[in-house]
Every structure is written in C-alpha cells, then in structure tokens.
Amino acid sequence: MRSFFGRFKIFGWVMLGISAVIIYLFFNALQPKKILPIYNPAMVNSELVDQGIQHVRKYHTIADFALVNQNGDTITQEDYKDKIYIADFFFTTCPTICPIMTKNMASIQDKIGDDVLLLSHSVTPQIDSVAQLKKYAIEKGVDDSKWNLVTGDKKQIYELARKSYLAVKTDGDGGPYDMIHTENFILVDKKKRIRGFYDGTNEEDVQKLLDDLQVLKSNYEE
C-alpha cells in the first residue's frame, strides 16, 4: 500500500512539472512579439533632417555610398549587404563627446559577433585622412574586421548624415556642407532601414541598443 502511494506521489510530481512547462509555454505564446520601429524622416527631429525629405513617412533607407576606411580600402554598401550595423558620426580631433562615443562603440565591438558591423563617418574629412584614421583606430583598439572608420567627399558624408542617417545638424558658418554631429548611434537593419537611435555617450542607452540588437537579430532567426 505504501509503495502504491509512493508511486502516486512521483506521478503527481511529474504531472505538476509537465503542467508548469505547458503553462510557461502558453504564457510565452500569448506575449506580444517585440518589434522595433522603422524610422522615417517625418518621425525624427527636423533639425537633423534635410528639409527636402522631412515629409517622408515611409520607405526610407540608407543611400548607396563609397568612402575610404582607415586602411585605404573603398567601403560601399556592398560591404554591409545583408548585415545589421551600427553607424555614427565623429571626428578624430573632437575633444568633447567623441572620446566617450568611441569608447562605448569599442565596448559594443567586443560584444557583437561577426554578423553585426560598425561604421563611423568623419564629419571633418579634410582633416581625417587615411593616415589620421589609422592612427586613431590603433589608439582606440578598432577591430578592422568589424569596424570601419571612413572619410571621403564632404558633400557625400553631409548628404548621408542629413538624408540617410538623420543624425547631424547644420552649422552654416563655414560653407554649405558644414555639420555638427550628434551623439547618436544609429541601428540599421539588413534592409538598410533605421531601427533605433541611441545616445552614444550614455551607458544605459548603449545597453538599450545592445538589447534592441538582440531583438532585431531574433526577428531574422524566426
């Protein structure tokens, strides 16, 4: 009799465990799937967006580009094809927010796999030569296989910043393509769409970027 109740007790615990698993799976299935927003120019602070596209509400993507990285290689959109990547704007002689942004981007570099890339654009290409970018890259611990620091034609970088990444303000005191970069890190998906903006000087925002990156990656895995 005692062995019968012993077997019944074991059976009860097994059924309780199975029930708990079923309830957990059912609860997860009912949770709404997290999807990151797709940003378009009309959703972004107009100070950061070229006037000609401020009305655009859908189908915004990053334009094609051809720039030169710290190794003298030409980098184009093909190097980022079918990749999630994080972009920003900086300059190597910036004494204020750039060192913090670069430090935080370096920490992101150490946390991502080969399926995610980084792309930093110089807003002072007339100063940031290939040699200057290479020196900066070595000093900051840039991994060339994951992270491109790029320079090139100032007009192209300006238009990418204002018309594609929606990430810089105009200056207006030194020419038509002067720009003041922001602290923004921009998360771009495999279809060249912007999925998030983050304060690259703020550790909590950088962590949110990493969390959102995992959400974005999981969307592609399903």
Query: Could you read off the pLDDT tens digit of each residue along the chain, which spans 222 residues?
Result: 555 445 555 555 555 556 555 554 444 444 557 899 999 999 999 999 999 999 999 999 999 999 999 999 999 999 999 999 999 999 999 999 999 999 999 999 999 988 999 999 999 999 999 999 999 999 999 999 999 999 999 999 999 999 999 999 987 555 667 888 899 999 999 999 999 999 999 999 999 999 999 999 998 875
Domain that includes residue 24, residue range: 1-31
**How many distinct structural domains can be found in the chain?**
2
CA distance 121 to 3: 74
Q: Are residues 198 and 101 in the same domain?
A: yes
User: What tokens were used for 187?
Assistant: 């998360």
In a domain, 214, yes or no: yes
Q: Are residues 114 and 217 in the same domain?
A: yes
- The answer to whether the beta carbons of residues 195 and 38 sit under 8 Å apart is yes
Task: Beginning with the edge strand found earlier in the chain, give each strand of the sheet holding 194-199 in spatial order.
Answer: 147-150, 116-122, 84-90, 184-188, 194-199
Torsion from C-alpha of 145, 113, 58, 88, nearest 10 degrees: -50
In a domain, 36, yes or no: no
In a domain, 74, yes or no: yes
Q: Are residues 129 and 157 in the same domain?
A: yes
Q: Are residues 26 and 50 in the same domain?
A: no
Q: Are residues 97 and 2 in the same domain?
A: no
Q: Are residues 8 and 79 in the same domain?
A: no
Res 220: pLDDT = 82
* Nearest Cα residue to 97 out of 209, 214, 183, 6: 183
Q: Are residues 60 and 131 in the same domain?
A: yes
Q: Is 55 annotated as a binding-site member?
A: no
User: What tokens were used for 218?
Assistant: 């999981």
Q: Are residues 20 and 102 in the same domain?
A: no
> What's 42's DSSP letter?
G
Q: Is 181 annotated as a binding-site member?
A: yes
CA distance 113 to 96: 29
In a domain, 94, yes or no: yes
User: What tokens were used for 153?
Assistant: 């034609």
pTM across the whole model:
0.84
Res 171: pLDDT = 72
